[in-house]
């Protein structure tokens, strides 16, 4: 910001609440959730959703588990009205779902709203008027507190008068002092009390007081103070549901909601992925999954976040940023080598610790729980650690490389990533691994291998191997205590042994339809170079022999 601009701004007043209790509270249960995707979210779209798109979004919200859905502003446009009517007339609202409609406190708009909801089993009628000092001064031309309170009361009275006109519909009443976040608390309370006086809620028939951070002006702790203050001072607390509706102007909408819940709120309004006016509404996905990550059931099901995101992006024409918590493309991807090593250790350990609690460094949740795959967790670039490459080869291709082989393969992959100045996909990592480390026959080619388990005596085996070395064919014969050792002896006799065999491992290749065995042979050349080669074959014996040939070739 330009330095001479700073004088335009002033600090935001704090709330006098020295005995605030919310900082010591812990969120232990989920609130009532209300999606406002089809209203606040939709009204903020450059191209609002069509009726068909709204229907698809409605079904999606239902499938996620929302029991309260604000479907729009039916008195504001024919499309919104038609949408509400279709939901009702085509019987699309499930028994346990309540639709919510927003309306200003004007009689003709409220009447039209009641026409729109007629025939619904249950509906929330949500009225609002703006109450902040700024709005009173600027938008309403220095309107007095009394004028503003009167708007709320008049609206509440009209709604009360119309409720009996549609007796087949159970009406739940909701009032929002819009711009609550910069309304003097005593005045916000006064407006809410005035509405309570008209609507006369009871513990059996509660009303909803929605306290919006229409604009997020300050830090989330102040929001929490405002909410705790309201919860403490409102009369008939047991007859009132306190609802949060945060926006995200300072980027702390989620934090404000979480602190607001600690401060005593019962209900949360928000949208999928935070779509909404300006910087957006609260991202309900984040708050709910944050709760899940602490072991709290929420009633919302985000187990297939990617398909949810697909419908969202298609119907709203918005996109979810790569770094968006939980849903972003890159949020389960570790680029740093040390992160990758730690993630691999955490995941390996979990495989062994059945039923254990989640504890993987850098990952707050198991990506599988929201339908995301480990596939994308580790991508390889020149900064990746050796564990990252081994992890990809293990998880994606089923090869569990010996630990001392990790640097050998890792170095090649990082050099390649560096050369290309880009990250490599799991597929590309596999391609390089298979081309450059598995069954390599650059100098020595194995054409035939016969083994005789009986003629050598003393439990030894004899082998006869037909090979080519730099296109010159030869036959190699040897005896040893196994297929590999007998071949090593044959190579020695043929003057081809300039190495010591220092390690050997094998396992069945995991995954796919493959019934191959993988063998790893480590050779130390007489000049001190140590390298691993990998052999793959349906027979474990042949895999070992191929691994030896491969390692021999890699040493050239």
List the one residue from 22, 33, 66, 128 that touches ligand KIV (CB under 6 A). Answer: 128
CB of 419 to ligand KIV, least distance (A): 52
3-state SS record for 230-256:
HHHHCCCHHHEEEEEEEECCCCCHHHH
CB of 230 to ligand KIV, least distance (A): 15
449-453: list long-range contacts, CB under 8 Å, 24+ apart.
449/483, 449/487, 449/542, 449/545, 451/483, 451/486, 451/541
The 75-114 site mask, x for binding ligand KIV (CB under 6 A), equals ---------------------------x------------
Question: What is the C-alpha separation between 244 and 287, in angstroms, rounded?
Answer: 12
Q: Any idea what DSSP says for residue 167? A: T
Question: What is the C-alpha separation between 493 and 462, in angstroms, rounded?
Answer: 13
CB of 276 to ligand KIV, least distance (A): 8
Q: Looking at beta carbons only, is 87 or 282 nearer to Zn ion?
A: 282
List the one residue from 129, 210, 324, 408 that touches ligand KIV (CB under 6 A). Answer: 210
73 binding ligand KIV? (CB under 6 A): no
Q: Looking at beta carbons only, is 39 or 505 nearer to Zn ion?
A: 39
249 binding Zn ion? (CB under 5 A): no
List the one residue from 54, 245, 339, 546 that touches ligand KIV (CB under 6 A). Answer: 245
In DSSP notation, 123-146 reads EEEEEEEE--HHIIIIITTS--HH
214 binding ligand KIV? (CB under 6 A): yes
Beta bridge partners of 126: 102, 174
User: What percentage of the chain's residues is helix, strand, coil (to nearest 5)?
Assistant: 45, 20, 35
Q: Looking at beta carbons only, is 233 or 279 nearer to ligand KIV?
A: 279
Q: Looking at beta carbons only, is 179 or 408 nearer to ligand KIV?
A: 179
- Using alpha carbons, select from 22, 40, 351, 334 the residue that is nearest to residue 210: 40
Q: Which of ligand KIV, Zn ion, none binds 280 (CB below 5-8 Å, type-dependent)?
A: none
List the one residue from 31, 33, 35, 40 that touches Zn ion (CB under 5 A). Answer: 40
Q: Which of ligand KIV, Zn ion, none binds 520 (CB below 5-8 Å, type-dependent)?
A: none
Q: Which of ligand KIV, Zn ion, none binds 537 (CB below 5-8 Å, type-dependent)?
A: none
Q: Are strands 32-35 and 68-72 parallel, antiparallel or unpaired?
A: parallel
Question: What is the C-alpha separation between 432 and 434, in angstroms, rounded?
Answer: 6
**In the complex, which residue's CB is closest to Zn ion?**
40
Question: What is the C-alpha separation between 483 and 544, in angstroms, rounded?
Answer: 8
> Looking up tokens 């170079």, which residue turns up?
529
The 159-188 site mask, x for binding ligand KIV (CB under 6 A), equals -----------------x-x----------
CB of 180 to ligand KIV, least distance (A): 7
136 binding ligand KIV? (CB under 6 A): no
Stretch that binds ligand KIV, among 159-167, 195-203, 206-214, 535-543 (CB under 6 A): 206-214
> Looking up tokens 């081809």, which residue turns up?
496
40 binding ligand KIV? (CB under 6 A): yes
Q: Looking at beta carbons only, is 226 or 489 nearer to ligand KIV?
A: 226
Question: What is the C-alpha separation between 350 and 334, in angstroms, rounded?
Answer: 18
CB of 437 to ligand KIV, least distance (A): 58
Q: Any idea what DSSP says for residue 524? A: E
Question: What is the C-alpha separation between 101 and 126, in angstroms, rounded?
Answer: 6
Question: What is the C-alpha separation between 504 and 22, in angstroms, rounded?
Answer: 60
Q: Looking at beta carbons only, is 40 or 537 nearer to ligand KIV?
A: 40
Interaction residues for Zn ion, span 426-445 (CB under 5 A): none
Q: Looking at beta carbons only, is 177 or 264 nearer to ligand KIV?
A: 177
H or E stretch at 450? strand 444-452
Q: Which of ligand KIV, Zn ion, none binds 210 (CB below 5-8 Å, type-dependent)?
A: ligand KIV
Q: Which of Zn ion, ligand KIV, none binds 176 (CB below 5-8 Å, type-dependent)?
A: ligand KIV
- Using alpha carbons, select from 205, 225, 358, 385 the residue that is nearest to residue 294: 358
Q: Looking at beta carbons only, is 40 or 396 nearer to Zn ion?
A: 40
In DSSP notation, 274-337 reads G-SSTT-B-BHHHHHHHHHTTT---S---TTHHHHHHHHHHHH-----TTSTTTSTTTT-B-SH
- Using alpha carbons, select from 272, 206, 215 the residue that is nearest to residue 245: 215
Question: What is the C-alpha separation between 289 and 14, in angstroms, rounded?
Answer: 30
- Using alpha carbons, select from 75, 72, 76, 46 the residue that is nearest to residue 278: 46
List the one residue from 72, 74, 155, 212 that touches ligand KIV (CB under 6 A). Answer: 212
Q: How many residues lie near Zn ion (CB under 5 A)? A: 1
Question: What is the C-alpha separation between 227 and 261, in angstroms, rounded?
Answer: 9
Q: Looking at beta carbons only, is 48 or 410 nearer to Zn ion?
A: 48
Q: Which of ligand KIV, Zn ion, none binds 128 (CB below 5-8 Å, type-dependent)?
A: ligand KIV
Stretch that binds ligand KIV, among 44-52, 207-215, 259-267, 544-552 (CB under 6 A): 207-215
Q: Which residues form the interface with ligand KIV (CB under 6 A)?
A: 40, 102, 128, 176, 178, 210, 212, 214, 245, 247
Q: Which residues form the interface with Zn ion (CB under 5 A)?
A: 40
């Amino acid at each position: 910001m330009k330095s001479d601009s700073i004088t335009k701004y002033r600090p935001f007043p704090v709330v006098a609440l020295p005995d605030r209790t919310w900082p010591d509270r812990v969120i232990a249960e989920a609130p009532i959730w209300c999606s406002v995707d089809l209203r606040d979210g939709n009204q903020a779209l450059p191209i609002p959703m069509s009726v068909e798109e709204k229907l698809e979004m409605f079904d999606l919200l239902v499938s996620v588990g929302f029991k309260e859905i604000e479907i729009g502003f039916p008195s504001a446009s024919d499309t919104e009205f038609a949408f509400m009517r279709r939901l009702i007339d085509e019987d699309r609202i499930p028994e346990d779902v309540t639709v919510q409609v927003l309306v200003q406190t004007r009689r003709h708009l409220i009447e039209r709203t009641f026409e729109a909801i007629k025939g619904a089993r249950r509906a929330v009628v949500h009225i609002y008027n703006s109450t902040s000092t700024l709005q009173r001064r600027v938008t309403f031309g220095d309107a007095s507190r009394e004028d503003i309170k009167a708007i709320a009361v008049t609206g509440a009275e009209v709604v009360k008068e119309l409720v009996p006109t549609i007796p087949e519909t159970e009406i739940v009443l909701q009032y929002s002092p819009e711009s609550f976040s910069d309304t003097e608390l005593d005045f916000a309370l006064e407006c809410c009390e005035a509405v309570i006086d008209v609507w006369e809620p009871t513990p059996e028939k509660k009303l909803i007081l929605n306290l919006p951070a229409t604009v997020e002006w300050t830090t989330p702790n102040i929001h929490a103070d405002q909410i705790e203050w309201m919860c403490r001072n409102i009369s008939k607390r047991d007859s009132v549901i306190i609802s949060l509706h945060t926006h995200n102007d300072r980027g702390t909408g989620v934090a404000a909601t979480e602190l607001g819940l600690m401060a005593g709120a019962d209900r949360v309004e928000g949208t999928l992925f935070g779509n909404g006016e300006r910087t957006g509404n609260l991202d309900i996905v984040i708050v709910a999954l944050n709760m899940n990550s602490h072991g709290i059931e929420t009633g919302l099901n985000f187990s297939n976040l990617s398909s949810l995101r697909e419908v969202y992006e298609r119907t709203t024409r918005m996109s979810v940023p790569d770094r968006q918590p939980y849903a972003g493309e890159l949020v389960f991807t570790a680029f740093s080598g040390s992160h990758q090593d730690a993630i691999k250790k955490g995941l390996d350990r979990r495989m062994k610790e059945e039923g254990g609690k989640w504890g993987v460094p850098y990952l707050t949740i198991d990506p599988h729980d929201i339908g995301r795959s480990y596939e994308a967790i580790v991508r390889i670039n020149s900064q990746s650690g050796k564990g990252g490459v081994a992890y990809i080869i293990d998880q994606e291709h089923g090869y569990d490389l010996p630990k001392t082989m990790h640097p050998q393969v890792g170095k090649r992959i990082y050099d390649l990533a560096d050369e290309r100045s880009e990250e490599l996909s799991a597929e590309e990592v596999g391609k390089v691994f298979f081309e450059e480390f598995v069954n390599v026959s650059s100098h020595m080619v194995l054409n035939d291998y016969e083994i005789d388990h009986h003629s050598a005596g003393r439990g030894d085996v004899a082998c006869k191997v037909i090979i080519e070395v730099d296109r010159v064919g030869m036959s190699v014969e040897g005896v040893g205590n196994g297929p590999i050792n007998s071949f090593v002896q044959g190579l020695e006799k043929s003057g081809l042994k300039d190495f010591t065999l220092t390690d050997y491992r094998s396992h069945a290749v995991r995954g796919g339809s493959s019934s191959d065995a993988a063998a790893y042979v480590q050779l130390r050349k007489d000049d001190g170079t140590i390298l691993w080669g990998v052999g793959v074959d349906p027979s474990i014996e042949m895999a070992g022999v191929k691994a030896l040939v491969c390692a021999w070739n890699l040493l050239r």
